[in-house]
Amino acid sequence: MSPRMGLDLPTILQKAGEIVDEKGLDHLSLGELARRLQIRTPSLYNHIEGLEALRQKLAIHGLHNLHERMVYAAVGRSGDEAVRALSEAYVSFARNHPGLYDATFRAPETDDPELQQAQHKVVELVVQVLQVYGLKDEAALHTVRGFRSILHGFASIELAGGFGLPLDLDKSFLLLIDTFLAGIHSGTSN
């Protein structure tokens, strides 16, 4: 057992990530990917099961990256400071890797445990950071949902170019996070 060594998955995902960040998730095609890898399209099937599987793996790849950056941002901080750091890392990732971010969100419905695991790790990180606010059981879960909504909502509208006005985006985002934090501190969430 030890046949010829060809492409490996990391290389493929790397290139696919480049395509997707350049041209958008919807313009990822096996043809373009193969061209950039200097092979013929059908050869890709030796490594991945098809376009849908590629998107799936790309989503997992993106989630790993996102998680890594969020952990790095949050480490050594707590409370509001940690929340702000986490938030900034999140939108930062979306800005630097718009296609990959999109892939993490628009992953096809599936019960792929690896994908679920990757999603879960990001959620878990948020749960941990919010723990310091001492929210009771259910309230904590609702609050995590709210926080995720804010992060994804802002990031995706920004990426879609949905904020038309020439008004500072970072300011909008910081204010949003602070407004949310103020709401939490006001005790509404208990």
Partner DNA sequence: TGTGAAAACTAATGTAATTAGTTATTATAA
Partner DNA sequence: TTATAATAACTAATTACATTAGTTTTCACA
Stretches 10-18, 66-74, 82-90, 151-159: which one binds a copy of itself (CB under 8 A)? 151-159
Contact criterion met (CB below 8 Å) for 57 and 48:
yes
Contact criterion met (CB below 8 Å) for 92 and 69:
yes
Task: Specify the residue, 31 or 153, whose C-beta has the smaller distance to DNA.
Answer: 31
Min separation Cβ 66 and DNA, Å: 25
Is 184 a binder of a copy of itself (CB under 8 A)? Answer: yes
User: Which of 90, 93, 101, 180 lies at the binding interface for a copy of itself (CB under 8 A)?
Assistant: 180
Is 145 a binder of a copy of itself (CB under 8 A)? Answer: yes
Structure tokens at 27: 């313009």
CA nearest to 78, candidates 121, 120, 124, 128? 128
Min separation Cβ 74 and a copy of itself, Å: 20
Min separation Cβ 109 and DNA, Å: 16
How many whole angstroms separate alpha carbon 34 and alpha carbon 55? 15
How many whole angstroms separate alpha carbon 86 and alpha carbon 45? 38
Task: Specify the residue, 29 or 43, whose C-beta has the smaller distance to a copy of itself.
Answer: 29
Structure tokens at 118: 């990757």
Distances (CA, A) of 183 to 33, 100, 142, 180, 188: 46, 31, 13, 5, 6
Is 105 a binder of a copy of itself (CB under 8 A)? Answer: yes
Task: Specify the residue, 47 or 146, whose C-beta has the smaller distance to a copy of itself.
Answer: 146
Structure tokens at 171: 């300011």
Min separation Cβ 39 and DNA, Å: 3
Could you say which residues in the range 72-91 bind a copy of itself, by CB under 8 A? Answer: none
Burial 52-90 (b: 16+ CB within 10 A, else e): eebbbbbbbbbbebbbebbeebbeeeeebebbbbbbbbb
Query: Which of DNA, a copy of itself, none binds 72 (CB below 5-8 Å, type-dependent)?
Result: none
Structure tokens at 115: 């994908």
Q: Which residues bind a copy of itself (CB under 8 A)?
A: 105-106, 109, 119, 138-139, 141-143, 145-146, 148-154, 156-157, 160-163, 165, 167, 171-172, 175-176, 178-186, 188-189
